[in-house]
Amino acid sequence: MNDNRNKKTFGLLYTLKIQFQNMPSFSSGFIYANKKNQIEILITVDAISEDGEPYFNNEREVQDATYLCSFFDGKPLNQNWQISNEKGPFCKAVKYDTTLSRREPPTLRTITRSTFQISKFISSDIVNPALEIAVGINIPGIGNFDTSMNGTPTLNSGSVFKSPSRISVSRISPIDYTDNRNVMVIDKGWKYIMTDALFRNGSNRHSSSYRNYAAIIRYKKISIITANKYNIIEKRVSPTLPYSAPYKDWFYGTTMPHAMNYATDDQALGAYLTSWFIETRDRVGYFHAINEGWTELTHKKKPPLYFTSMRNGEFNKKNTFSVWPQFSNDMPKLARFSNNNQNSITLVCHQINLVDHIPLYLGAECRAQSNTSLASHVEIVDEFGNEGIMTIEYRHNIDGEITV
């Protein structure tokens, strides 16, 4: 404590009061018991020295002298509470209420130069019903005063100080976003980029076997939000596909997806190649020149991506297709979008549909690995400090669906 204050002789404690900083007229507040979610408490102290001057010199002295206690017995709050003088990033009440009946004497004095108002921030990791909290203050050489229901026997300029003041704080169960019941998936539907892209059968434009087929390119956004629509403050996406994978050059700007898979429709005609990108801010899509410079079908020189009419994915000249859009312009047609919504996890699903009258199968010798459609993991923290790791699984169908 400050030495200057210790030299003063205590005179009188006019005011000791506890309220919620943001909602002073409310008596009850609720926080999540996750140890991060704080609620801000405002404490008002007005004390003078024997000569009528302010007893405290500054807010720091008031912080050091005050403490929180039980309204019913005046005992300091136990270790189930975390009390700080610092405001954390998740200082926000879930809600406020007026369940308590305030029977407190009105404050007779207005704010004077001897009045100080300070904030304390409390949190907890123990789920519990409401606890009624009062405030206490220690005056060296005099004793403790508090705003509990019975007050304290400490004499305040000759009389007992009794000035009940309280708030109620309830600690409710935190939300675990690992549980998929606490999140919602919003599929915003397909948007078409191209409906007439070309892919080719055969390697030589001049050969009799060379044919063009149509390809459809489309994309959609998928949003994952919290079920209670809380803001998402922190997002951490764990990459699924290693950036050094040999198929990174399949994608524009080598912006790697988090997953990709192959599927056929109900009639098993053509093929669908789908990729998912999580929280990307770049243009995304397949690179239009992936098979550029590929002129022959041999085992010595394979395209990085191919499809075949052979169910086993065999690579051979007769049944292998260099299936990739041959765009007429210089730049690829890609999904373009603005920054992601900070209140959701945004996935961009990009798909090419290779339309044919026969089934097409992803080549068994493509430079891809077996983990291309493994689940992804996204860790989130909401505005109240609730957290969890969401597991995103990719459906093996033509609709680009996910489950969380």
pTM listed for this prediction: 0.83
Q: What is the CA radius of gyration of the chain?
A: 33
* 160/299 same-domain check: no
Give, for all 404 residues of the chain, the pLDDT tens digit. Answer: 455 556 789 999 999 999 999 898 899 999 999 999 999 999 999 999 999 999 999 999 999 999 999 999 999 998 899 999 999 999 999 999 876 554 444 444 556 789 999 999 999 999 998 999 999 999 999 999 999 999 898 888 778 888 999 999 999 999 999 999 999 999 999 999 888 776 665 555 444 455 566 778 889 999 999 999 999 999 998 877 765 556 666 777 667 788 888 887 767 677 888 989 898 877 777 766 555 555 544 445 556 677 777 788 777 666 665 555 555 444 556 666 655 677 889 999 988 888 877 777 777 777 666 667 788 999 999 999 999 999 999 988 889 999 99
Residue 320 phi/psi, 5-degree rounding, is -95, 140
282 and 398 co-located in one domain: yes
* pLDDT for the residue numbered 106: 43
Of 172, 203, 237, the residue at which a domain comes to its end is 172
Q: What is the residue range of 293's domain?
A: 180-403
Confidence at residue 167, expressed as pLDDT on a 0 to 100 scale: 96
Task: State the pairing for strand pair 28-32/167-172.
Answer: parallel
Task: Say whether both 51 and 154 belong to one domain.
Answer: yes
Per-residue model confidence as pLDDT tens digits over 214-231:
778 889 999 999 999 999
Our count of domains for the chain comes to 2
292 plus 230 within the same structural domain = yes
User: What pLDDT, on a 0 to 100 scale, did the predictor assign at position 356?
Assistant: 75
- Strands of the sheet with 320-321, listed across from one edge: 320-321, 307-308, 361-362
Q: What is the pLDDT, as a whole number, of residue 332?
A: 55
145 and 29 fall within a common domain? yes
Q: 325 and 259 in one domain?
A: yes
Q: Which of 172, 200, 232 is the last residue of a domain?
A: 172
CB-CB contact of 161 with 139 (8 Å): no
Question: CB–CB of 34/125 below 8 Å?
Answer: yes
Give residue 107's identity as a one-letter amino acid code: T
CA distances from 301 to 177, 212, 322 (A): 47, 22, 12
Query: Which of 400, 388, 73, 85 minimizes the C-alpha distance to 262?
Result: 400
> Is 122 in the same domain as 205?
no
Query: For residue 256, which of 229, 286, 230 has the smallest C-alpha distance?
Result: 286
Q: Residue 261, Cβ neighbours under 10 Å: how many? A: 17
14-70 per-position pLDDT tens digit = 999 999 998 988 999 999 999 999 999 999 999 999 999 999 999 999 999 999 999
Same domain? 206 vs 246: yes
Please tell me whether residues 63 and 191 are part of one structural domain: no
Q: Do 236 and 164 fall within a single domain?
A: no
pLDDT of residue 53: 93
CA atoms within 13 A on the CB side of 84: 17
Q: Given this model, what pLDDT does residue 268 score?
A: 65
267's CB contacts (< 8 A; 6+ apart) are none
C-beta of residue 67 within 8 angstroms of C-beta of residue 135: yes
Residue carrying the six token digits 């009639």: 267
Q: Which of 154, 172, 190 is the last residue of a domain?
A: 172
